[in-house]
Amino acid sequence: MKSSTKIGGGPWNVDQELVTRARNGDITAFELLVVKYQRRVAAQIRGLVRRADVVEELTQEVFLDAYDHLNDLREGVAFWAWISAIARNTASGYLRRRQHRVDAKSEPGETQDDPGQLQFAASAEQEVIAQQLFAAIDEAIAELPAKQRDALMLREIDGLNYKAIAATVGTPVNTVRSLIYRARESIAKKVRPHLTATRARRW
């Protein structure tokens, strides 16, 4: 897939480039997609599940599924539309599993406690790991030097090319390239151990 360098190219073109990089083994590219969409995915799941503790765990699961199946994303399908469908399916699957627990445990005349707590208790470790992963991503972005952070966000979130970024921040193009490279390396160093640990503990 061909990446876009046009100013104002929109989130689809930027996402397409990040997906291509992630497919080629650039974990930082996928981490940037997580940063960009984790709140939207969480909000979508929250609209169905309405439990803050479970929402974060399911959000983690959505991104892990997406990471494992990036090659299934067909050309021409926007990343947000694709991961939004994964989020809906993940939330629906959780609700079906929860209802199955209720049906299996309930007896005639028995009052059932909140079944969501059973699901949360069974995956407390996953909840902790999810919190650590998302906190590490936010912290890695926040701790970047201001110039690195601004250049990275203009490139990956706003979709500007290097020349446009240089004009925006008043820095030579080669300096912009260096700032973005160092920012990506810094994020990868801080976040990759959490992502690796999360995937290792997934099952």
| Token pair belonging to 180 | 């973005």
CA 94 → CA 103, 107, 113, 117, 132, distances in Å? 14, 22, 17, 12, 22
Q: Please, what is the Cα angle at 56 between 55 and 57, to 5 degrees?
A: 95
Most confident of 62-66, 117-121, 138-142, 154-158: 62-66
Q: How confident is the model at residue 189 (pLDDT cuts 50, 70, 90)?
A: confident
Asked if pLDDT for residue 12 goes beyond 60, the answer is no
pTM of the model: 0.52
Q: Classify the C-alpha dihedral 183-188-190-191 as positive or negative.
A: positive
Domain boundaries, given as residue ranges, for the chain: 11-200
Contact 68, 27 (CB under 8 A): no
d(C-alpha 36, C-alpha 172), whole Å: 26
Please give the Cα distance from 162 to 63 (Å, whole number): 28
Mean per-residue pLDDT over the chain, rounded:
75
pLDDT digits (tens, 9 = 90+) for 146-174: 999 889 888 876 778 899 999 998 999 99
Ramachandran class of 16: left when φ > 0, alpha when ψ lies in -120 to 50, beta otherwise: alpha
- Nearest in space to 87 (alpha carbons), one of 119, 39, 24, 135: 39
Amino acid at 80: W
The answer, yes or no, to whether residue 6 has pLDDT greater than 50, is no
Higher pLDDT, 112 or 191: 191
In CATH, what is the architecture of 11-200? Orthogonal Bundle (1.10)
What type of residue sits at position 189? K
The pLDDT assigned to 3 comes to: 37
Q: What is the CA radius of gyration of the chain?
A: 19
CA gap 52, 41 in Å, rounded: 13
67: tokens are: 């990471």
- Tens digits of per-residue pLDDT, 80-136? 899 999 999 999 989 888 775 655 554 444 444 443 333 333 345 555 665 676 677
